[in-house]
Amino acid sequence: MTGASYANAESTGYPAVTSPTVTGYTPSASEVDYSYPAPTATANVKDATETINYTPDAETATVTYVDDVTGETVKTATINGVTDESGTYSVDLSGINSGYRLAAGQNSNVAYTITPDDSGNITIHLTHSIVDGTATTTRTITYVIADGDKSKTPKTVTQTMSWKTVTDEVTGTSYATAQNAYEAVTTPTIAGYTADKASIAEVTEGNLPTNELTNTSETVTYTADEQSVTITYVDSQTGKVVKTITITGKTDSTLTVPELAGYTIDSTNLPTSFEAGVDSLSVLVTPVNNGNNSGNGGSTITTPGNNHQSTGSTNSGTNSSSDGENGNSNENTNVISKANDKQPSKTKQQPNQNKLPQTGDEAGQEVGLTILGLMTGMLGLIGLKRRKRDDD
């Protein structure tokens, strides 16, 4: 005998084995085939080994940039790799609105691991950049004199309102908040004029879109008031009122003193325009010398009336005496007419008006007339005595 020993497999052999599935990996063989060992020397019987190698599959991770304000996706990116590959992703804001910035807590470098089930995807959180700023607006108040002396126009008033602005750099939306108000402005008073607005009201603002901020303007218009002036003509020789009239006109319009028939007007320092607050005017006039007046004789001045009150003075004295057969005739006539003087409460007088004759001069004239009357009477008595002697 040789002592040789042989072995035969008693079972059905090694059954086929399917390689287990590993997500994200691919096995080198999908299964291990069935095998039945051939008879062999007992010394050669041993275990059989089969190795299956798994290779990670190519995978990607998706990076999503999300606008936390709107919830919208702004951008996506892809990380290429294989299953279970790890790395660090650097945030890239290129290609998106420059107004975006990383949201609070969002890092610029993000660790990742690629997985076949997308659990390794990355989300980058963004928010909007908000820029604070300032702005100003103005309100201009312009004053206009529609008719009258434009040199009296008040100065233009310009007011400023300050704003704080907040601008969303992504959407471009901007809002402004007022920091003060346009204060109310009382309209300046111009004597003799009426403004169409007593004041410009205060204006307050809240929040407004910045693009709606505008400068504003207001206009106040003045209209000249109607003025009435009573003109009193005063005789420069006697100081008595000759005539009184009333004229009207707008403030600062031309004032012309009407001529007075039979007199010349002293225009020294007379106003040339209607003034507020001046409702009366005293004007000196001098009788025109027509050659019929003498120093001791009477004077008669006639002023035609134009539905206005007019006054004048007439002084006349006539003395006569005669001797004859028919007797003596004596006549002494004095006619004096005095006007009622009317003095306005506000009168603009000419500077030399205080040089007019005083009441002492008038008294002297009355004394002269009295003496003249006495002389006439004496002459009449003498004539009677002569006639009586003749009769005797």
* pTM of the predicted model as reported, rounded to 2 decimal places: 0.59
85/102 Cα distance (integer angstroms): 26
What pLDDT does 378 receive? 55
Residue type, 262: G
The pLDDT tens digits of the residues spanning 74-128 come to 999 999 999 999 999 999 999 999 999 999 999 999 999 999 999 999 999 999 9
The pLDDT score that the predictor gives to residue 375 is 54
Q: CA angle at residue 55 from 53 to 56, to 5 degrees?
A: 150
Q: What is the pLDDT of residue 374?
A: 53
Fold of 130-224: Immunoglobulin-like (2.60.40)
Q: What's the chain look like in SS3?
A: CCCCCEECCCCCCECCEECCCCCCEEECCCEECCECCCCEEHHHCCCCCCCCCEEECEEEEEEEEEECCCCCEEEEEEEEEECCCEEEEECCCCCCCCCEEECCCCCCEEEEECCCCCCCCEEEEEEECEEEEEEEEEEEEEEEEEECCHHHCCCCEEEEEEEEEEEECCCCCEEEEECCCECCEECCCCCCEEECCCEECCECCCEEEHHHCCCEEEEEEEEECEEEEEEEEEECCCCCEEEEEEEEEECCCECCCCCCCCEEECCCCCCCECCCCCCEEEEEEEECCCCCCCCCCCEECCCCCCCCCECCCEEEEEEECCCCCCCCCCEEEEEECCCCCCCCCCCECCHHHHHCCCHHHHHHHHHHHHHHHHHHHHHHHHHHHHHHHHHC
Q: Which pLDDT value is given to residue 50? A: 86
Spans of all domains in the chain: 1-56, 58-128, 130-224, 227-353
Architecture of domain 58-128: Roll (3.10)
* 126-158: burial string, b at 16+ Cβ within 10 Å, e else: bbbeeeeeeeebebebebebeebeeebebeeee
- Distance (Å, rounded) from C-alpha 377 to C-alpha 246? 48
Burial of 122: CB neighbours in 10 Å, binned 0-12, 13-18, 19+: middle
State pLDDT tens for residues 342-378: 333 445 555 544 443 333 444 444 444 444 455 555 5
Per-residue buried b or exposed e for 36-64, using 16+ beta carbons within 10 Å of the residue's own CB: eeeeeeeeeeeeeeeeeeeebeebebebe
Beta strand 207-209 with 185-186 is unpaired
The pLDDT of residue 144 is 98
Model confidence pLDDT, tens digit, residues 34-47: 777 777 777 677 77
Q: Residue 248 and residue 238: Cα distance in Å, rounded?
A: 28
CB 28 within 8 A of CB 53: yes
Residue type, 8: N
- Start-to-end CA span in the chain (Å): 243
CA distances from 159 to 176, 178, 205, 301 (A): 18, 14, 14, 64
Buried b (16+ CB within 10 A) or exposed e, 314-352: ebebebebeeeeeebebebeeeeeebeeeeeeeebebee
* Under-70 pLDDT residues of the chain: 1-3, 6-7, 9, 43, 290-392
Q: Give the CA diameter of the chain.
A: 243
